[in-house]
Amino acid sequence: MVFLNQFFFGYFPYIAMTIFLLGSAMRYDRDQYTWKADSSQLLRKKGMLVGSNLFHIGIILLFFGHFVGLLTPEWVYHPFMSAGTKQIMAMTAGGIFGTMCLIGMLILLNRRLFDKRISRTSKFSDTFVLLYLFVQLLLGLITIPYSAQHLDGSSMIALANWAQHIVTFRTGAADFIIAEAWVFKLHLVLGMSLFVIFPFTRLVHIWSVPVQYLTRSNYQIVRRRG
């Protein structure tokens, strides 16, 4: 048990990030034509706008919420709020953004699985990624009632200490969460495993977010004729 804890929360994060970075670089170098989102909107627009927007907005907010929540040192927020208050804020925001993402996910899954035109043209990896994210999202929502059992912020501090030790390459990271509930650990393992499968799926299109469109000045607006 101690060995598994050390492997998954001490070594596996670095294995996952290595595969993530090297795999993405090799995918871009060798298979640039597969570097795309493969949107199903051209096949059928019904439900795509609502589902895609809810899913993407929700998951982006969840990502940055996790990023800030886990990597913000305790001394930064301690003068303004307690760990318990921060945990309640995280639970509330996670519940709202997670529900938003879940609704969007269910709409997209319904299209992908039960729309014959879309399902017949979908790759196995496309469906697998959606189902994988669906399970991970459910696990994230399940952590909320577990967190509510101890509102002193102790679990949040333990998870944050783990993440901060990992990103700063300090030893002893796995020791912080050895006593945490199974749902937190499984959520972390699936989250890290997502980086492992990332280079081999459509998720690589995340690297190509068109940020330049926000600042681009030379563009032409084309309107359809009425």
pLDDT digits (tens, 9 = 90+) for 160-185: 999 999 999 999 999 999 999 999 99
With pLDDT > 70 as the criterion, what percentage of the chain qualifies?
85
Binding-site residue ranges for heme b? 56, 66, 187, 205
Specify if 175 maps to a domain. yes
Region 205-214: mean pLDDT is: 59
Residue 77 lies in a domain: yes
Q: Which pLDDT score is estimated for 213?
A: 40
Residue 195 has pLDDT above 60, yes or no: yes
Number of domains in the chain: 1
Which range is least confidently modeled, 50-54, 58-62, 112-116?
112-116
Domain for residue 226, yes or no?
no
The reported pLDDT for the residue numbered 133 is 94
Which of 149 and 226 is assigned the larger pLDDT?
A: 149
Residue 103 placed within a domain: yes
Cα angle 65, 127, 48; round to 5: 70
- What local confidence, expressed as pLDDT, does residue 169 receive? 96
Mean pLDDT (the chain) is 86
Mean pLDDT of 28-41: 65
Domain that holds residue 153: 1-214
Q: Residues 81-91: what's their mean pLDDT?
A: 94
Is residue 107 within 8 Å of 51, Cβ to Cβ? yes
Residue 47, burial from CB neighbour count under 10 angstroms (0-12, 13-18, 19+) = middle
In a domain, 146, yes or no: yes
Return d(Cα 199, Cα 190) in angstroms, integer. 15
Q: Which amino acid is at 147?
A: S
What pLDDT does residue 225 have? 62
Identify whether 223 is part of a domain.
Answer: no
Question: pTM of the prediction?
Answer: 0.83
Is 224 domain-assigned? no
* Binding annotation: 56, 66, 187, 205
Which CATH number do you get for residue 20?
Answer: 1.20.950.20
Does residue 221 fall inside a structural domain? no
